[in-house]
Structure 1
Amino acid sequence: MKLNYYILWVEDDNSWYETTTELFRETVEGHGFNPIIKRKKTLDEVIQELVDDGLKKYDIFLIDFNLRNSADGSSIIDFLREKNIYTDIIFYSSDKQTIIESIKERELEGVYHSDRKEIEDKFEKVFLTTIKKIEEINSMRGLIVGETSDLDEMIEERLQQCTELDIAKAFDIDKFFNEQILEKEQGKCKWLKAEYEKGGITAILPRLDAIRKLELLRGILKKNKEKHQYIPSFIKVNAPYQSEVIDVRNKFAHSKVIINGDGKEFLKAQIGDNHFEFNEESFKEIRINLKKHRDSLMELKECL
């Protein structure tokens, strides 16, 4: 999921790491991304991570320039650049001047420095530059279409889960099938009915559109509110799913890139007589909503 934002953090002070982590999480989540933070304590651990995973997935590195029981930041800079890893790096230290001199000596690009006291502000500024490529029009269009498709699959998985656990028995699926599916799929009635009679609702789930799947899942859950304390919360969080996910996907499917008088690009969609425009702020809101619905579907999986 490209909504994941990967951070490799090299820090050997447990106390400072624990107190600062939440600040970075809030920044990343506030822009609609999911922070995935991996902590290392020494250069040797960074080298091992390179061997295991290549370090290519990370969006940013946070590195304490003065590690107590390891090579210093200069050695880490040299190691990363020797391996042709050009991910943006923020080095921080109480002695910021040492970092500045080391960066200047090596004429490095994509390397930032910060005092420990300024790290929250510096992280946010660098973070915003790293997500610029993601926020480009075509990247956002691809991200949103891909993410909404993933959410549709997750809803189908939760429906499969409900039927396997028998909680669907509290809901009249036959009535739903006849009134909400057959009546609205006139051209496919005979085929759908045959498949339903042969294999039940799970046999036709892949053929249902996103709205029918959503309505079916919500219908089942509303009949099972007492099964788990999270189900009522999910129903509430999920209530605007159609407008925040399904409708957004439909708008993007009918959108095109427009350049305004200032040369800035934005997306414009027209559905019927309605016009919709998307810019950086609306992209941010969309990402936050997509993350919210993904998180809620993941939590629902755990409680069913």
Structure 2
Amino acid sequence: MKLNYYLLWVEDDDSWFETTSELFKETIIDYGFSPVIERKVSLNEVVEEIVASNLKKYDILLIDFNLKDSKSGDSIIDFLRDKDVYTDIVFYSSDKSLILESVSKHQFEGVYHSDRKEIEDKFEKVFKTTIKKIEEINSMRGLIVGETSELDALIEEHLLVYIQKPYIDSFDCDKFLKTEIFDSSQKRLENLKTSYSEKGISEVFKSFDAIKKWKLLRAILKKNLDKDQYITEFLDANKEYNDEVIDIRNKFAHAQVIVLENGREVLKSQFGDDHFEFGENEFKRIREKLILHRESLLKLKQAKSFS
């Protein structure tokens, strides 16, 4: 699981799907994930999806036990288990006793049941069990490092656009490179100067660390506010990127998990005696910030300046 939370929902009632899916989206967002709800209207479509992908990307399945013109709910469970699909499943029906009878008869595992009227509450409870491992500190470290690496790649992709004409014309590359790069290391300075003079900034920016790439992107964009109306909005949304993405990633990547006397797991910095304590609320805020920064970078990518 990454920041996206994938729900496969099998429901043939258009109206009920549209209204109830909004409630599920709110639940997923409230816990700091980005909801991706994909709908099927028959169990036959689920079978086709299993054949194509074995449902590997989905975090949970939500299935109407009594779909019209479709296989019965217990038959699809047999099929899922026969194909070694063990994703958590929530069956729901207006008559929950039908589900209970089927679960008891076939001894299904990993199957939850709900009355239609209680589906919102049941979904939230099962959803929380599926994200429980994400709340463990080592799992969060992997999620954060992986996600922030993708954000680094998005910044680099933007830079490949904005270091070209006409954007680069209004930006002082010499000043930026001297202040942020050249003066930091004499040996590296000479190598970068040579590369820059021979091939330009397109050759040297790839060697920058994440902070320098972020600063370069913002500095160029500030000189090109007239090129696209979204640039100003992006700069405002992105201004805390260092604290909310790069610094967080570094804390998780360069720290050791230790257990305090009270049994609480914390991250201990490799430098000095500082440690950083993270719990469910902190993890939620981190995920929310990562989603916001990803969305702002993707929106910048879609801006007309890229066309």
| Partner residue, 2:267 | 267
| Partner residue, 2:60 | 60
Report the secondary structure of 1:297's partner residue.
Answer: helix
| Partner residue, 2:11 | 11
Unaligned runs of 5+ in 2: none
Distance 1:51 1:175, change over 3 A: same
The answer as to whether partners of 1:268 and 1:278 remain within 8 angstroms in 2 is no
Moved more, 178-187 or 107-116: 178-187
Report the secondary structure of 1:227's partner residue.
Answer: coil
Residue type at the aligned position of 1:80: L
Among the aligned pairs, what percent are the same residue? Answer: 59
Whole-angstrom CA distance in 1 between matches of 2:29 and 2:197 = 45
Matches within 5 A, 1:238-249: 238-249=238-249
Whole-angstrom CA distance in 1 between matches of 2:165 and 2:119 = 48
TM-score by length of 1: 0.94
4+ residue runs over 6 A deviation: none
| Partner residue, 1:145 | 145
| Partner residue, 1:295 | 295
Whole-angstrom CA distance in 1 between matches of 2:164 and 2:112 = 52
Whole-angstrom CA distance in 1 between matches of 2:266 and 2:67 = 45
Structure 1 residue 274 displacement after superposition? 4.1
| Partner residue, 1:252 | 252
| Partner residue, 1:157 | 157
Distance 1:269 1:121, change over 3 A: farther
Residue type at the aligned position of 1:56: K
| Partner residue, 1:95 | 95
Matches within 5 A, 1:64-83: 64-83=64-83
The answer as to whether partners of 2:256 and 2:270 remain within 8 angstroms in 1 is no
Whole-angstrom CA distance in 2 between matches of 1:117 and 1:161 = 51
The answer as to whether partners of 1:64 and 1:92 remain within 8 angstroms in 2 is yes
Structure 1 residue 228 displacement after superposition? 2.3
Structure 1 residue 272 displacement after superposition? 4.5
Whole-angstrom CA distance in 2 between matches of 1:271 and 1:28 = 36
Distance 1:64 1:293, change over 3 A: same
Structure 2 residue 178 is matched with structure 1 residue 178: yes
Structure 1 residue 118 displacement after superposition? 1.8
Whole-angstrom CA distance in 2 between matches of 1:179 and 1:257 = 36
Structure 1 residue 243 displacement after superposition? 0.4
Residue type at the aligned position of 1:221: L
Residue type at the aligned position of 1:211: I
Structure 2 residue 230 is matched with structure 1 residue 230: yes
Residue type at the aligned position of 1:20: T
Whole-angstrom CA distance in 1 between matches of 2:124 and 2:228 = 38
Residue type at the aligned position of 2:149: S
TM-score by length of 2: 0.93
Residue type at the aligned position of 2:226: E
Report the secondary structure of 1:57's partner residue.
Answer: coil
**Cα deviations across residues 240-280 of structure 1 (Å, max 9, x unaligned)?**
10001111122113322222344343333354564322222
The answer as to whether partners of 1:251 and 1:271 remain within 8 angstroms in 2 is no
Residue type at the aligned position of 2:260: N
The answer as to whether partners of 1:255 and 1:269 remain within 8 angstroms in 2 is yes
Moved more, 59-68 or 245-254: 245-254
Whole-angstrom CA distance in 2 between matches of 1:296 and 1:83 = 39
Whole-angstrom CA distance in 2 between matches of 1:215 and 1:257 = 31
**Cα deviations across residues 206-233 of structure 1 (Å, max 9, x unaligned)?**
2101111111111111222232222222
The answer as to whether partners of 1:270 and 1:276 remain within 8 angstroms in 2 is no
